[in-house]
Structures are given as C-alpha cells and as structure tokens.
A = this chain, B = another copy of it.
Amino acid sequence: MKKLDRIDRHLLALLQQDARLTSHELAERVGLSPSPCARRIRRLEQQRLIQRYRAELDRERLGLGMTVFVHVKLSRHQDALVEAFEAAVADMPEVIECHTVSGAFDYLLQIVSADLKGYERWVRQLQTLPMVNTVDSSFAIRAVKRAGALDLRDARPSDDES
C-alpha cells in the first residue's frame, strides 16, 4: 500500500471539511490539475481511507438539542450477554456512539434526544436489559467543539487489502 504524500493528506483534510468541493476547486487548492486530483480521490476511496460521504445535520435547529453521555456497567460479562447488549445498543437510534472503555465503567455512550422526556424513554428501555448493572448519566451543557476533523499529521495507512 502506498504511503500518503502531502497532496493526499491535503485532499483528505479538504474533503473532511467540505465534501462538495469540485475536482477543479480541489485541484487549485492542492496545486494540481483536476484529472490527477480526481484520480487520487478515487484511490483514497478504493483504499477505504474515505469511508463515506455524509450530510451533517444541525441538532439544535432540528430540535434535538439534548446530548447525554452515559456510562454503563454490566453485571454479568458472559459473551452472549455482552453481545446481546451491544446489539441492542447498536439498534437504538438515540445512540449516536458507543465504545467499550477502560476504567471504572464498561461502556461510554453518547445519546441524542429532543428533550428529557425522550431521554427518559430511552433510559427506561435500556434498563429493561437484564445484564445492565449501573447507568450513569452526564448531561452535555454546551458543545465546545463538535465533530472535529481528524488530525492527519501522524496518519500512515495500515497495509490492508485493497
């Protein structure tokens, strides 16, 4: 697999900020002509370094201004229960993000809902899962930085298949 050069990194950085830039605009900014520029982008897509393109919506304007970070501990850690928990969580549309984490808790989740009522509905639903032990809610008061772009300075593609 090829190493990323300065231009590839530049393209990724630009597309991270605005996926609607045309090949011509991108070409100007990185100092290339549109053709090789489009080609490099196609390669980045095929290498899956670019996963997908998506529209980013405004939560506040959509009336989905409530963000909650939830720490969860399970009571039993048998494989089947862990998998059931993760599958259930992945299927809940209110769950924007979920990671297993080190430390005092097993999972950290980010929940988005319209209001407290919606959040309570979700928590109730979560509590019905039998392997859930503790649920610790921390409400987001204000977003200082949201959906920041990845810092590509240290990025080096791992050699996977195509």
Which residues in A have some Cβ–Cβ distance to B below 8 Å? 12, 15-20, 47-64, 67, 69, 86, 89-90, 93-103, 105, 107-108, 112-114, 118, 138-158, 160
Contacts and interface: CB of A to CB of B under 8 A. Distances in A.
A42 to B, nearest CB: 13
Contacts of A69: 99, 101, 108
A13 to B, nearest CB: 10
Contacts of A16: 54-55, 57
Given A16-B54, A112-B150, A63 B158 contact: yes
A102 to B, nearest CB: 4
Contacts of A55: 12, 15-16, 19, 50-53
